Amino acid sequence: MLSFDINKYREMFPVVKTGTIYLNHAATGPLSTRVVAAVDRYLMERAETQIDNFELFQPILNETRMFASRLLRTTPDRIAFFDNTTNAINLLAAGLGWKPGDRIILDDIEFPANVYPFLNLKRLGVEIDFVKNREGKILPEDIESKIVPRTRLLSISHVQFLTGYRSDLYTLGEMCRRKGIIFSVDAIQSAGVVPIDVNKMKIDFLATGGQKWLLAPQGIAFAYVSKELQEKLKQAYLGWTSIKNFFSEFTNYRLDLDDSARRYENGTLNYIGITSLHESIGMLLDVGIENIEEHVVDLNDKLVQSLHLTGRKAYVEGDRKERAGIVSIKVDDADHYAANLSKSKIQVAVRQGLIRVSPHFYNTEDEIDTLVEKLNSR
């Protein structure tokens, strides 16, 4: 039995009223009426009544930072806002004093956002060690086998964008702490759908964007930076909002960096994006991330079991701990299947020849049944 009123939340998503079964949250999440109303209100205020709104916006900014910290079970001072996940990860890549021969561990099915910032370090003599996946899974023992004395960092997606495999961050975090390696996590496919505890998982750095499971627009993201890592990071880029009390003594130029992760916000922030995140994360916290996880994994369990009954299988099949919001399905001619589903107003994605299905908390078991039925009526 659901622990939240799903019909109440389905009413908040206009896409539902169009008759569309939207199962593509791993690509882009739809906006809720809460987000649309908040953005409309913000725009009207900027147009008419609160045009110079810097000071008036600070309570929303502070509360959004607090909401983001609650998602990760940390404190607001550890959160910094960015425009996208890649630029957040670039903060980490550019901020460490790399030396020729230093090594970074990645894996061979990562989304490119978690690869190119580190590949760029090869110009400094940094070497990248790619862990080979095993049928879509990145196993801790395979990661550990790549660790050598010059290994400085492991960066991995919490949930893999292609296969849906959810890594055991507790095990990986403990391994990195034991080996003295910086642990970085791309959480864009997990934040908002499964619980994250950066302290218990011993994560040093985490980045995520708002446009997928967090149900916000494109162009807004945030990062977690541990206090210990912050002390090691050399800030490659600095802006006028990076310092303490930046809105006073404008011409008292000083390298007085803020003590919090806000020091990485180098200038004017995306207030519309933050307005959206305020509403979308607020809604997810109202539902409860544990409740969301239970429902979404239940939906995907049902999908995997239904696929078995029709002679199909998911690309990655494991226990619930290895699954989050994504199920990828092996089919012949995935583009053809996806086009037929689209004609039936079912939205999924095709990634590297796989049908990728990614339901969220407001999707229903009936919608999963309809998906499976349409898959079988090619």
Query: Looking at the structure, do residues 122 and 263 belong to the same domain, yes or no?
Result: yes
- Under the banding of pLDDT at 50, 70 and 90, the label for residue 376 is confident
Distance CA 81, CA 264 (A): 8
What is residue 249's predicted lDDT score, i.e. its pLDDT?
84
Distance CA 123, CA 308 (A): 48
Boundary residue ending a domain (229, 264, 285):
285
Is pLDDT above 70 for 18?
Answer: yes
Query: Looking at the structure, do residues 255 and 363 belong to the same domain, yes or no?
Result: no
**Domain-embedded: residue 122:** yes
Count the domains in the chain.
2
CATH number at residue 367: 3.90.1150.10
Cβ atoms of 21 and 371 closer than 8 Å:
yes
Token pair recorded at residue 372: 């499976």
- Under the banding of pLDDT at 50, 70 and 90, the label for residue 116 is very high
What is residue 102's predicted lDDT score, i.e. its pLDDT?
98
Segment 214-226, tens digit of pLDDT = 999 999 999 999 9
Cβ atoms of 201 and 170 closer than 8 Å:
yes
Is pLDDT above 90 for 89?
Answer: yes
The values of phi and psi at residue 258, to 5°, are -60, 145
**Domain-embedded: residue 227:** yes
**Domain-embedded: residue 36:** no
Query: Looking at the structure, do residues 310 and 265 belong to the same domain, yes or no?
Result: no
Distance CA 231, CA 259 (A): 10
What is residue 378's predicted lDDT score, i.e. its pLDDT?
62
Angle of helix 271-287 versus helix 54-72 axis, rounded to 10? 40
**Domain-embedded: residue 32:** no
Segment 238-284, tens digit of pLDDT = 999 999 999 888 999 999 999 999 999 999 999 999 999 999 999 99
CATH number at residue 178: 3.40.640.10
Torsion, Cα of 358, 361, 367, 368 (10° steps)? 50
**Domain-embedded: residue 34:** no
**Domain-embedded: residue 344:** yes
Query: Looking at the structure, do residues 309 and 224 belong to the same domain, yes or no?
Result: no
* Kind of pairing between the strands at 182-186 and 221-225: unpaired
Is pLDDT above 80 for 167?
Answer: yes
Over range 311-315, report the average pLDDT: 88
State what percent of residues in the chain have pLDDT above 90: 93
Query: Looking at the structure, do residues 302 and 245 belong to the same domain, yes or no?
Result: no
Task: Give pTM, 2 decimals.
Answer: 0.96
Query: Looking at the structure, do residues 255 and 344 belong to the same domain, yes or no?
Result: no
Over range 72-91, report the average pLDDT: 98
How many Cα atoms occupy the beta-carbon half-sphere of 209 within 13 Å? 20
Lowest pLDDT segment from 17-21, 29-33, 236-240, 261-265 = 236-240
Look up tokens 């690869």; give the residue: 115
Distance CA 260, CA 43 (A): 29
22 vs 249: which has the higher pLDDT: 22
Quote the domain boundaries for residue 13: 6-23+288-376
Boundary residue ending a domain (285, 315, 330):
285
Helix/strand/coil for 148: coil
**Domain-embedded: residue 33:** no
Query: Looking at the structure, do residues 249 and 314 belong to the same domain, yes or no?
Result: no
- Under the banding of pLDDT at 50, 70 and 90, the label for residue 46 is very high
Angle of helix 365-376 versus helix 334-343 axis, rounded to 10? 120
- 3-state helix/strand/coil string of 196-262: CCCCCCCCCEEEEECCCCCCCCCCCEEEEECHHHHCCCCCCCCCCCCECCCCCCCCCCCCCECCCHH
Look up tokens 């207030």; give the residue: 271
Query: Looking at the structure, do residues 276 and 242 belong to the same domain, yes or no?
Result: yes
Torsion, Cα of 22, 72, 162, 95 (10° steps)? 130
**Domain-embedded: residue 49:** yes
CB-based contacts of 127: which residues, under 8 Å, 6+ apart?
Answer: 101, 102, 103, 104, 150
Look up tokens 């404190």; give the residue: 75
Distance CA 264, CA 82 (A): 9
Boundary residue ending a domain (255, 285, 315):
285
Query: Looking at the structure, do residues 212 and 322 belong to the same domain, yes or no?
Result: no
Query: Looking at the structure, do residues 150 and 102 belong to the same domain, yes or no?
Result: yes
CA distances from 232 to 109, 148, 204, 205, 227 (A): 29, 21, 11, 12, 9
Segment 127-142, tens digit of pLDDT = 999 999 999 999 999 9
Cβ atoms of 164 and 25 closer than 8 Å:
no
Query: Looking at the structure, do residues 164 and 218 belong to the same domain, yes or no?
Result: yes
Mean pLDDT taken over the chain: 96
Query: Looking at the structure, do residues 304 and 215 belong to the same domain, yes or no?
Result: no
> What is the CB neighbour count within 10 angstroms for residue 73?
15
Over range 205-231, report the average pLDDT: 98
Instruction: Point out which residues pair with 185 in neighbouring strands.
Output: 156, 206
